Amino acid sequence: MLYDVVEIQKILPHRYPFLLLDRVTKLEKGVSIEGFKNVSISEPVFQGHFPDHPIYPGVMIIEGMAQAGGVLAFKSSTEEEQEDMSNKVVYFMSIDKAKFRSPVTPGDQLIYKLTVIKQRGSIWQLDAKAYVKDKLVAEAELKAMIVDK
């Protein structure tokens, strides 16, 4: 384990119920990140999606992958840049090629695996995949930018 949820909260501004990354297990600065989110029936989203047939929404999977990408971007910056990160935030620029391949249900552990496609300045383009066990459940290309708050 590299970062638990307490450490992640020092990096990302997200909080309950919208912090969707429980732990970072691997990180290679400027290259890739792996982390996970444990999906529980206690998630507020299951009150309406769907009460009699709980399915974790694809948009939440995309957001969880994006949060992992935000950790990668922040942790890949120089030490001097990281000192100023409290005044920065990551904004989505685009989501492309999103595919949802299998439903995610309570009790599943979503494993996020992201690799950098391209990084220029404050703009990051990432190949993002989400797995349950070894099964690919979602994927997308994400583009984001680190900006001043």
Name the token pair of 127: 């190949």
Who's near 82: CB < 8 A, 6+ residues apart? 74, 75
**The predicted structure's pLDDT at residue 106:** 98
Instruction: Look at residue 79 in the predicted model and tell me its pLDDT.
Output: 75
CATH number of residue 108's parent domain: 3.10.129.10
Give phi and psi for 93, each to the nearest 5.
-110, -40
Q: Residue 98: helix, strand or coil by DSSP?
A: strand
Q: What is the pTM of this model?
A: 0.95
**Phi and psi at residue 60, in whole multiples of 5°?**
-75, -35
Q: How do the pLDDT tens digits run along the chain, 149 residues long?
A: 899 999 999 999 999 999 999 999 999 999 999 999 999 999 999 999 999 999 999 999 999 999 999 999 999 987 777 777 778 888 999 999 999 999 999 999 999 999 999 999 999 999 999 999 999 999 999 999 999 88
Distance (Å, rounded) from C-alpha 130 to C-alpha 56? 13
User: What pLDDT is attached to residue 29?
Assistant: 96
Strand order in the sheet with 88-100: 23-28, 32-38, 109-120, 123-132, 135-148, 88-100
Size of the chain, expressed as the number of residues it contains: 149
Catalytic residue among 2, 32, 49, 95: 49
Which residues constitute the domain of residue 76?
A: 5-148
Number of domains into which the chain is organized: 1
Q: Catalytic annotation on 53? A: no
